[in-house]
Structure 1
Amino acid sequence: MASFGAPAFRLYLLRHARAAWADPGKTDFDRTLDDDGFAEAEVIAEEAADQGYRPDLILSSTAVRCRQTAEPFQRTVSEELSIDYIDSLYSGTIETYAELAFAGRQETSVMIVGHNPMIEEFFHRLVGKEIAETAAPFGYPTAGLAILDFDTRPTEENYTGACLAGFMTPRAAR
């Protein structure tokens, strides 16, 4: 159970915003956000910042749509906010996501910008099926942002004890 003080670690899970279909001759990796997706990315970044959700570091898939979803956070939170683009978030497993999220580093809050089904599966693993399905009853939406707090610093081997501190969608933020 989470305490009322500041968490030992906070993890933000952000699924990329709505993307267009791949243009002929382009790969899934190269898909860009559509007009709604650009709006979703801006709205979720602004609402998160307004509510005081400010990661120390962003880890983003190198896929174009994830990069385009992460960038508004840098503009909204701070130009100095680091975004590390990581290839393995594109097709990585839950273990890959956990390894990256909980690697021994100094930051106390990290955001992962990734893809379904991994974002949703990782979310389910962290908070359990019942809580996950209550927060996102129709599946993890595009530009959905889960805020997870830990009373003790998780590791890539032991990341139990997550408490869902919030779940935001750009539709709910408008």
Structure 2
Amino acid sequence: MKTLTLLRHAKSGWDDPVERDFDRPLNAKGRRAAATVGRHMRSLDMHFDQVTASPAARVKETLESVETGYGAPLDPHFDRRIYLASAETLLDVIHDTPDNADTLLLVGHNPGLEELVLLLVPDREEDGERDKVEEKYPTASIAQITLDVPNWRAVQPGGGALSRFIRPRDLDPALGPEKNH
């Protein structure tokens, strides 16, 4: 049995005048959301044998804020393939995960993460969690998928079960979308 947790980077700052999208930092709300998600991960006693992440600035800053809330370093391995990757490329990254890791945290970007959940989790879930992912995979959200496989190379489309989908607004309504009046 393997457990895959997907974390989308937190809300980034579009107001920041960076030359490359790759260098775009988080905004204040994004840092708060990531720390909140980190605290929640700790409260659920989530742990990860391997953390693989995009090297983009907003992902690195997300991980720093998550670690603050989580209370421990996550020691990520940065893989450039994850930056703005498709679901298929993310599946390649998963297949390359060492077999001695039973729990993997993959940190990256949309739409790839949302597409990966929809690729791995069949559309027969009764609880509606997959529908929430399909509707929107907000920044700083985590999706946890259990996979009944002996190794990461055996992960195939349709082979997972979504065990949880947690959005920052589920933990603190102030971290939800801005309301237009």
- For the superposition of Structure 1 and Structure 2, which TM-score range results when normalised by the shorter chain? 0.7 to 0.9
- In 2, Cα distance between equivalents of 1:63 and 1:108: 25
- In 2, Cα distance between equivalents of 1:153 and 1:40: 34
Structure 1, unaligned runs of 5 or more: 1-7
Cα pair distance change 1:104/1:62, threshold 3 Å: closer
Cα pair distance change 1:104/1:87, threshold 3 Å: closer
What TM-score comes out, normalization by structure 2 length?
A: 0.82
Q: Taking every aligned residue pair, what percent have the same amino acid on both sides? A: 28
Q: Which residue of 2 aligns with 1:168?
A: 166
Correspondences of 1:143-154 after superposition (within 5 Å): 143-154=140-151
- Aligned-residue Cα RMSD (Å) equals 2.0
What TM-score comes out, normalization by structure 1 length?
A: 0.85
Q: More relative contact order in 1 or in 2 (CA 8 Å, sep 6+)? A: 1
The answer as to 2:35 corresponding to 1:42 is: yes
Q: What letter matches 1:84 in structure 2?
A: H
User: Which shows bigger deviation, 132-141 or 49-58?
Assistant: 132-141
- In 2, Cα distance between equivalents of 1:122 and 1:156: 15
Length, aligned pairs only: 166
- Is the Cα contact below 8 Å between 1:98 and 1:156 reproduced in 2? no
Q: Which residue of 2 aligns with 1:3?
A: none
Q: What letter matches 1:118 in structure 2?
A: G
* 1:26 Cα offset (Å): 2.0
Cα pair distance change 1:130/1:85, threshold 3 Å: same
* 1:136 Cα offset (Å): 2.6
Structure 2, unaligned runs of 5 or more: 173-181
The answer as to 2:135 corresponding to 1:134 is: no
